[in-house]
Amino acid sequence: MRKVIVALSVVAVAIVATCGWCTWVLVKPGGRTLANIEIGGNRIVRIWSKEDTKDWRWCVYYEIIENGEEIVPAMYLTSDRGEPFEFQAAYADNGNLACVWQSNPKVQFDWVILYDNATRESWPQVWWCEQRSDPREWEGRYRRLQDENPVLRARPW
């Protein structure tokens, strides 16, 4: 009987420990805000990182919020290894095109976020089936941003 009680106790402790760990992973505070950049029209590009519990790495995401409501859902950009990210923004077409980019030369991954207010789309989109525009259209939009913003001319598409 004593062996049964010990075995049940060990199982009970294992269950409690497992549930406690799962609860901590799901509700633990985390992430780091990397930037909240206003791009006009009461729109904000929010960039942050948080730990992805599926593969145990920190991922950088962006979303676009307008008047407090999400208009572009969270999209994955890259991994966060604690780099000192820095961001800049540029505009074209009377503010209808916005570009946000990571500008710190010490950070190896170099990416841009584009937003077109006319189509209410952004680039990049992780789920290509949701991307209505052809990638070549985005390249054209980026060229237009480069034409109106000399600081972007040295940045390749």
Would 52 be classed as within a structural domain? yes
Q: Are 44 and 70 within one domain?
A: yes
Residue-level pLDDT at 50? 93
Would 157 be classed as within a structural domain? no
Q: Is the pLDDT of residue 56 over 50?
A: yes
Instruction: Give the CA distances from residue 25 to residues 2, 61, 137, in Å, rounded to whole numbers and listed in that order.
Output: 35, 19, 41
**Structural domain span for residue 106:** 31-152
Pair type for strands 69-79 and 87-92: unpaired
Q: Are 66 and 14 within one domain?
A: no
Residue-level pLDDT at 18? 52
Would 69 be classed as within a structural domain? yes
Q: Are 72 and 15 within one domain?
A: no
Greatest Cα pair distance in the chain: 82
Q: Are 42 and 114 within one domain?
A: yes
Summarised one tens digit per residue, pLDDT across range 59-75 is: 999 999 999 999 999 99
Residue-level pLDDT at 24? 39
Tell me whether residue 95 is exposed, middle or buried, using C-beta atoms within 10 angstroms of its C-beta: 0 to 12, 13 to 18, 19 or more.
exposed
Strand partners, 40: 43
Q: In what order do the strands lie in the sheet with 121-123?
A: 87-92, 97-102, 112-116, 121-123
Q: Are 72 and 119 within one domain?
A: yes
Residue-level pLDDT at 23? 37
| Counted domains in the chain | 2
Q: Is the pLDDT of residue 135 over 90?
A: no
